[in-house]
A and B are shown apart, each in its own frame.
Chain A
Amino acid sequence: MDLILFYSRKLFTVLKNEVLVLPSRVVVVLFFLLLLLLPVFTKDPYLLRIFTLTSIFAILAASWDLLSGFTGQMNFGHALFFGVGAYGAALLNLHGHIPPWGTIPLGALGAVLAGLIIGIPCLRLRGTYLALTTLAFPIILMGLVFAFPNLTGGDLGISGIARLARSRVANYYIAVVVMLGLCTIMWKITDSNTGIIFHAIREDELAVRAAGINTTRYKLLAFCLSGFFAGVSGGLYAHFMRIAGPSTLEVSMSFTVVIWAIFGGIVTIYGPVGAVFILFPLLEFLRFWQEYRILMFAGVVLLILLYMPDGLFPWLRNKIEKECPRCKIRSIATRKTCRVCTASLD
């Protein structure tokens, strides 16, 4: 009893002193609550379907950020990981009769393997070379998919995969909980020592190497981690849509991921996730304007970029919060002094 009281009091203090003081943290908590409580308010299958897909793609966008945003290794072929995850899960499910909770991690391991295979040659390249070379890998795989239609189903893809779960609500909860969990893990990774090394590699690789850190190993680690998370999202997608087709490997898929991530703001993890939650439903709700849908999408992206080239979310965050010039701790923008060291904020 005392223990419960202790933890509830601790929760209350943390909430009061750490969460409620910063608007961005409040927003994150509200986001978690809203997503977890959504099926309580509405059971509309269309809405649930959109948010399930949104969650799946949010994992993908965040995983791109983990690799390309943090380590600066521009990956234009992120669809490769997604596609390998999807096809891996589908093949294992169809031929190996493994249920979804087994196929998705195994498919993701396949994507890790793909990350290793493309990572090893690609790490000799940098910058634009790397970006343009990675673009090639999903296309090569797509050629193979079309060339061996017996195994991969060719144009039609692999269909008849097991459902993720019986009901729509269960599907929704699986996708959302996995998304929230994985994104928290990614955020934790980027906050750890490894994440700091990733940051440093982007800023100045030579300096990191001079500090005695094997940058190749860390870049490969980034490829594998990112591949794993993208593979999970691919597996979820295959089991949710019950089909793994060549559309998962398309160039436009890779480009869309890049658009989501940069639109939301790279090197943040929360940026890409938020961007998917804005752009993907927006694209769906514009469906009544079928013909102008993608045009509007491109227009919105172009306009937003002209005014906030660093991405939407970092811009918003800088509007509502200020960083203390002395202790680098953020406070709400309405305060005159820092909430920790009371230095003046202007």
Chain B
Amino acid sequence: MALITDIIISGLISGSVYALLAIGFSLIFGVARIVNIAHTAFYMVAAYCIYVVTQKMGFHPIWGMVAAVVLVTLLGMIAYKFLINPIREHEGAVLIATIALAMALQEIMAIIFTGTYLSVPSLIKGYLLILGVKVFYQQLLTFCAALLILIVLWALLVRTKLGLAIRSTAQDREVANLMGINEARVAMMTMGISVGLAAFTGAIVVPLTILQPHMWLHPLIMMMAVVVLGGLGSLKGSFLGAYILGFAEALVVFLAPMGAFLKGSVALSVMIVVLLIRPEGLFGVSFEEER
């Protein structure tokens, strides 16, 4: 029984984290056709940001979260403006520009904080006993915050004018442009939202993980797997795919021998099996051929 609770909690939390990351990644891909490898690097920067504000400067973690989200969003928009926007016409160039950006961020963090493992205390201390399993309040908080942000994002996309602009640009960039949507500005805003989501994810997950400059690689791979599994550009797909892969990971870690080594492999194999059956992902909207 305890094992099952453990699996459920672990799966829910990693699922929520992957969902937040994957939706941000999916958004900017849909709107601007940018495969942003540096997405999880921003998540790492946000985590370090919180470490500095809370541990080095001694502010309350809430201020750390606010500072992290604001600063990283700004950083993301600056990077987009000066590094990605000038070469957006060249797909391959954008790809390696984001890879190089991620490497640069990783190295800057490694130089400032060295490669040592750091950690950040939880926002709320203490734990709850559910069926004899310790559930830390931080874990509950992470899960609830993730759900809340997902609902806010959904409302933003479906209920507001900006959301409409984002969705229409994702569907057909040229026609959106003809309808009077400032495509460049929408892309910029989407980049901001997308990086902001990554930063927020980093902010809520940092007390549960260990800080180190390479911490962006595993989430990157899982996030990409989620996006492919759910179908590129489909928010519903990303959401569902994230929980599928999150639970697959949790099951392998807790049940299989050598699970910790195999968790990535099994989750990715799940993705490949799904793709064999449905090449466009679970909820894939097949994009129109680029004109």
**In the complex, B255 has a CB within 8 A of chain A:** no
Alpha-carbon distance A129/B274, docked complex (angstroms) = 13
Whether the Cβ atoms of B83 and A302 lie closer than 8 Å is yes
**In the complex, B95 has a CB within 8 A of chain A:** yes
Contact with B along A120-160 (1 / 0, CB 8 A): 01001100110111011101111110110000000000000
Whether the Cβ atoms of A259 and B100 lie closer than 8 Å is yes
Among the listed stretches B116-124, B178-186, B263-271, which one makes contact with chain A, having 4 or more residues with CB under 8 Å of it?
B263-271
Whether the Cβ atoms of A295 and B104 lie closer than 8 Å is yes
**In the complex, A200 has a CB within 8 A of chain B:** no
Whether the Cβ atoms of A125 and B279 lie closer than 8 Å is yes
Given A129-B232, A135-B224; A140-B99 close (CB under 8 Å) = no
Alpha-carbon distance A258/B98, docked complex (angstroms) = 12
Which B residue's beta carbon lies closest to that of A154? Answer: B261
Contact with B along A254-265 (1 / 0, CB 8 A): 010011001100
Interface size on B, residues (CB 8 A): 47
Q: Which of A143, A301, A310 has the most CB of B within 10 A?
A: A143
Contact with A along B230-247 (1 / 0, CB 8 A): 001000000000000000
**In the complex, B1 has a CB within 8 A of chain A:** no
Contact with A along B79-106 (1 / 0, CB 8 A): 0000100110110110111011101101
Q: Which of A124, A125, A146, A309 contacts B93 (CB 8 A)?
A: A309
**In the complex, A297 has a CB within 8 A of chain B:** yes
Contacts of A124 in B (CB 8 A): 275-276, 279
Which A residue's beta carbon lies closest to that of B271? Answer: A136
Whether the Cβ atoms of A302 and B100 lie closer than 8 Å is yes
Given A128-B29, A136-B221; A309-B103 close (CB under 8 Å) = no
Alpha-carbon distance A89/B97, docked complex (angstroms) = 34
Which A residue's beta carbon lies closest to that of B284? Answer: A129
Contact with B along A290-333 (1 / 0, CB 8 A): 01101101110110011001100000000000000000000000
Whether the Cβ atoms of B221 and A140 lie closer than 8 Å is no
Given A143-B262, A305-B93; A295-B228 close (CB under 8 Å) = no
Whether the Cβ atoms of A309 and B221 lie closer than 8 Å is no
Whether the Cβ atoms of B264 and A139 lie closer than 8 Å is yes
Tell me the residues in window 242-291 of chain B with beta carbons closer than 8 Å to chain A beta carbons.
Answer: 258, 261-266, 268-269, 271-272, 275-276, 279-281
Contacts of A186 in B (CB 8 A): none
Which A residue's beta carbon lies closest to that of B82? Answer: A306
Whether the Cβ atoms of A302 and B97 lie closer than 8 Å is yes
Contacts of B44 in A (CB 8 A): none
Which A residue's beta carbon lies closest to that of B227? Answer: A132
Q: Which of B101, B220, B265, B268 contacts A302 (CB 8 A)?
A: B101
**In the complex, A266 has a CB within 8 A of chain B:** yes
Tell me the residues in window 210-234 of chain B with beta carbons closer than 8 Å to chain A beta carbons.
Answer: 217, 220-221, 224-225, 227-228, 232
Alpha-carbon distance A145/B94, docked complex (angstroms) = 32
Contacts of B106 in A (CB 8 A): 294
**In the complex, B172 has a CB within 8 A of chain A:** no
Q: Which of B104, B225, B262 contacts A132 (CB 8 A)?
A: B225
**In the complex, B165 has a CB within 8 A of chain A:** no
**In the complex, B111 has a CB within 8 A of chain A:** yes
Residues of B within 8 A of A (CB): 29, 35, 37, 83, 86-87, 89-90, 92-93, 95-97, 99-101, 103-104, 106-108, 110-111, 217, 220-221, 224-225, 227-228, 232, 258, 261-266, 268-269, 271-272, 275-276, 279-281
Q: Please list 21 pairs of residues, one from A and one from B, whose beta carbons are closer than 8 Å in the complex, sorted by A's number.
A: A121-B272, A121-B275, A129-B280, A132-B225, A135-B221, A139-B221, A140-B265, A143-B266, A146-B262, A147-B262, A258-B95, A258-B96, A259-B100, A295-B104, A295-B107, A295-B111, A297-B103, A298-B107, A299-B100, A302-B83, A310-B90
Residues of A within 8 A of B (CB): 121, 124-125, 128-129, 131-133, 135-137, 139-144, 146-147, 251-252, 255, 258-259, 262-263, 266, 291-292, 294-295, 297-299, 301-302, 305-306, 309-310
